[in-house]
Amino acid sequence: MDDNVTRRYASKAENPIDYIQYDQGEDRWLCTLLLQRGYRVEYCAASDALTYAPEGFNEFFNQRRRWIPSTLANIIDLLQDYKNVINVNESISIWYIVYQCIMLVSSVVGPGTIFLMVVGALSISFNIDTALALFIVTLPVTLFCLLCFVSDSEKQVILSSYCFKFSS
């Protein structure tokens, strides 16, 4: 492997964004470094890997809580250096960069869009005023956010589990 990739991959996180990018999704971070140095990353169906797959909601929730911020940090890192990446990596085109931009925007706008879709669906399904539907949907989301700020990680997972069971 390239010395620059190895050296950077082995570096310690010094600020919060580094911690999110380096320590929360190590494989994604390594792929980003390889792409930035001009390497091609491919899927290999014949490969054999030992991995840990979540078996329950709590494990899945914690995995997603790590992976989503890490993925966003790596996309932003790739986009900040896109001109260099296109120049050194023949496998990456401007269309891949456009796709990554769309993915970033979708990841940021997606939760709000779903929120508004639920408000609209509630308003139409039960023939209630949109303002009332907005209040009904906003109340549990606001309470959940507040409880996430004041409770520890374990209670957040339990609360998320109840919200998931209630909404499904």
Q: What is the pLDDT of residues 75-134, one digit of tens each?
A: 999 999 999 999 999 999 999 999 999 999 999 999 999 999 999 999 999 999 999 999
Residues 6+ apart with CB under 8 A from 62: 54, 157
- Look up the domain containing 64 and give its range: 3-167
Predicted local distance difference test score (pLDDT) of residue 166: 80
Number of domains in the chain: 1
pLDDT at 64 over 70: yes
Closest CA to 153 of 65, 71, 72: 65
Report if pTM > 0.95: no
